[in-house]
Each structure stands twice: as structure tokens, then as C-alpha cells.
């Protein structure tokens, strides 16, 4: 990676962490392109072709993490 790109990459990941820390599935979904494919347990695989579907997908995980006591994200 070119040293000149480092600030932009850091900014992207800082924003990514802030999105996850918001526990807002819609905000997290904006960080990804559509269609989005997610690999689940075993051989399960889901493809999302709308922002609404993707936001619901992330929200389900964020709700689960929150219910387990997660309150912050970092890298």
C-alpha cells in the first residue's frame, strides 16, 4: 500500500468501527456494496440485493451481540 493511502484506509476503518459501535444495522449496511453475500454456519449462504435486507441481516447480529454484553467494537 502506498503511504499516501494510509490516512484514507485508517479513516475508512475508523468509520467502520463507529458504524458497528452504533449497533444500527442500517448504518452498518451502508459500508457494504450490493449484492452482498454472507456465508453462514455449515454450507448456508445468503445473498442480499437490497439495503433493507442487508440492514435487517446486520441488525440481527448486532442485537445478538448487544444481548451478550458487547458494547464496543475495535480493530
- Answer whether residue 67 shows pLDDT above 80: yes
Which tops the pLDDT comparison, 14 or 2?
14
- Quick check: 49 and 34 in contact, CB under 8 A? yes
Whole-number Å distance between alpha carbons of 61 and 20: 10
Residue 1 has pLDDT above 90, yes or no: no
Question: What would the pLDDT profile of 37-52 be if each residue is shown by its tens digit?
Answer: 999 889 999 999 999 9
Please give the full DSSP string across 12-62, using - where no structure is assigned: HHHHHHHHHHTT-HHHHHTTS-SSEEEE-STT-EEEE-SHHHHHHHHHHHH
Amino acid at each position: 500500500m502506498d503511504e499516501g493511502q494510509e490516512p484514507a484506509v485508517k479513516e475508512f476503518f475508523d468509520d467502520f468501527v463507529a458504524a458497528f459501535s452504533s449497533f444500527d444495522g442500517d448504518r452498518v449496511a451502508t459500508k457494504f456494496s450490493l449484492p452482498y453475500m454472507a456465508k453462514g454456519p455449515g454450507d448456508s449462504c445468503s445473498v442480499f440485493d437490497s439495503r433493507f435486507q442487508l440492514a435487517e441481516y446486520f441488525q440481527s447480529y448486532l442485537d445478538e451481540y448487544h444481548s451478550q454484553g458487547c458494547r464496543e467494537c475495535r480493530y
